[in-house]
Structure 1
Amino acid sequence: MKGQCLCGAIEVEAEPQKEVGLCHCSMCRKWSSGPMFAVHCGSDVVFNGDEPTIYQSSEWAERGFCSKCGTNLFYHLLPTNEFILSAGLFQDADFTLTNEIFIDEKPGYYELRNDTHKMTGQQVFEQYAPKDE
């Protein structure tokens, strides 16, 4: 699938995906003024045109955006090299909303009707924590 930022300076290419999830964490909401509509695309993502500007937002992740128009492009999970792309880049995609994370940080001023799998921040961290052997 192909998408682009608002001004077209950066094109994104990734394997086709059907699912989109929401992240309600405080950083994603500050970054996008709402939940991040996230498409998990793995590590095989190509950026054509301008280079994304990168901001390291935590020890384990960085976020990328277009320096010309400001479009939020991705959340890059460093330990797994996974790119989670902004669903808005792909205007013609037929996504299905399947999950919501950091539901415990979602503010009360919005509510979605979709029937999704919901996880708290603690559940997310527990799911991805290294397993003791």
Structure 2
Amino acid sequence: MSIQYHGSCLCGKVKLTVPFENAHLSACHCQTCRKWNAGPLMALAHNGEINIEGQINITHYNSSQWAERAFCKECGTHLYYHLKGTQHYYIAAWLFDDIKQLEFTTQAFIDKKPSCYDFANHTHNMTEADIWAKAAKNSSES
């Protein structure tokens, strides 16, 4: 059973409705995410359709050959990281107003995390090498 989460950017010109079967919070500590967010990207992974109102207010930045990052061009709120050519998104977690409880499950690029902060939660920690190995495996299975 999926739960519809509703969220918006700071100015409200972009609204998202996303059906999650089982939403899990993850953090990415790569340098690009930290520069983009002024800290780790805290996100909910979603593979499927996203209902977006205010699409005209979204700007996409091609951050690599395989991914783009989206933000509201009015207020600058970070919306999602999207794997090009797929329906796989990492949606900024705190856009959603109706999140009641989330399980913090994964930290990506843990070997790139600065030593000045730590999360107390026990999570599955993936290094840069782990991420690239998983990506290579997924692309060979396609």
2:100 corresponds to 1:103: no
RMSD: 1.3
2:123 corresponds to 1:119: no
Deviations 1:9-54 (A, max 9, x none): 0001111242110000000000000000011111311210243110
Aligned to 2:87: 81
> Percent same amino acid among aligned pairs?
39
Check whether the contact 2:6–2:98 (CA below 8 A) recurs between aligned residues.
no
Aligned to 1:131: 140
**Greater alpha carbon shift after TM alignment, 87-96 vs 112-121:** 87-96
User: Partners of 2:27 and 2:130 in 1: how far apart?
Assistant: 15
In structure 1, stretches of 5+ residues that fail to align are none
TM-score (norm: length of structure 1): 0.93
Mapping for residues 1-133 of structure 1, pairs under 5 Å: 1-16=5-20, 17-51=22-56, 52-93=58-99, 94-129=101-136, 130-131=139-140
In structure 2, stretches of 5+ residues that fail to align are none
Q: C-alpha displacement at 1:55, in angstroms?
A: 0.4
Check whether the contact 1:45–1:83 (CA below 8 A) recurs between aligned residues.
no
